[in-house]
Amino acid sequence: MVKQWFWYDWILLLFRLIFSVSLILTMVEFQGGLTLPLWGAISWEIIAFSVPWFCLLLNYKYYLVTEMILSGGISLYLSFLFPEAYLTFLMPAFMIAANSAKKSHRWSGPITILVIPILISMVSRQSTPWLVIVHTGLAYALGFAFHLLVVNHRQNEIIRDQNTVLEQYVSQIERVTILEERTRLSKDLHDTIGHSYTSIIMGMETLRLELVTDVGQDKLDSLLHLARKSIDEVRGYVHQMESPQDRLPLVESLQQLINEFQANSNVNVRFRSFGEESAIPRQVQMTFYRCLQESLTNAVRHGQATEIGVSLQFEQRQTRLEVQDNGLGAEHLQEGFGLRAMKERAFNLQGQISVYSEVGEGTVITCTLPRQVELSDEVIRLLLVDDQPFIRESLRTLLEGQGDLKVVGMAEDGQQAVDICEQVQPQVVLMDLDMPNRDGISATQLIKQQWPDIRVLILTTFQEKEKAIEVLRSGADGYLLKSMEPRELAETIRLVHHGGTIIAQDMSTKLFEDLETSQNGSEAQSVESKTLDAYGLTSRELEILKMVAQGLRYKTIASKLYLSDGTVRNYASSVYLKLEVRNREEAVQKAMEIGLL
3-state secondary structure 71-127: HHHHHHHHHHHCHHHHHHHHHHHHHHHHHCCCCCHHHHHHHHHHHHHHHHHHHHCCC
Give per-residue pLDDT as tens, 40-89: 888 888 888 888 888 887 788 888 888 888 888 888 888 888 888 888 88
If you average pLDDT over every residue of the chain, what do you get?
Answer: 77
Flag whether pLDDT at 345 surpasses 90.
Answer: no
- pLDDT, position 4: 64
Residues β-bridged to residue 358: 362
Average pLDDT over residues 423-445: 88
- pLDDT, position 520: 41
- pLDDT, position 525: 45
Residues β-bridged to residue 343: none
Average pLDDT over residues 509-521: 48
Average pLDDT over residues 219-238: 63
Average pLDDT over residues 212-219: 63
- pLDDT, position 410: 92
Give per-residue pLDDT as tens, 460-479: 765 556 666 777 777 888 88
Flag whether pLDDT at 522 surpasses 50.
Answer: no
Flag whether pLDDT at 420 surpasses 70.
Answer: yes
Average pLDDT over residues 297-307: 80
Flag whether pLDDT at 481 surpasses 80.
Answer: no
- pLDDT, position 340: 75
- pLDDT, position 411: 92
Give per-residue pLDDT as tens, 117-132: 888 888 877 657 788 8
- More confidently predicted of 212 and 41: 41
Residues 6+ apart with CB under 8 A from 520: 529, 533
Burial class (CB in 10 A: 0-12, 13-18, 19+), 106: exposed
Range with the poorest average pLDDT among 77-81, 322-326, 505-509:
505-509
Flag whether pLDDT at 407 surpasses 80.
Answer: yes
- 427 pLDDT band, cuts 50/70/90, is very high
- pLDDT, position 382: 93
Average pLDDT over residues 579-586: 80
Average pLDDT over residues 508-528: 47
**Pair 526, 502: CB distance under 8 Å:** no
- pLDDT, position 195: 53
475 three-state secondary structure: coil
Range with the poorest average pLDDT among 169-178, 195-204, 466-475, 568-577:
195-204
**Pair 202, 394: CB distance under 8 Å:** yes
Average pLDDT over residues 280-305: 80
Alpha-carbon separation of residue 94 from 1, 53, 74, 110, 330 (angstroms) = 24, 14, 16, 14, 37
- pLDDT, position 539: 74
- pLDDT, position 514: 54
Average pLDDT over residues 202-217: 60
Neighbours of 222 (CB within 10 A): 10
Residues 6+ apart with CB under 8 A from 194: 231, 234, 235, 238
**Pair 469, 514: CB distance under 8 Å:** yes
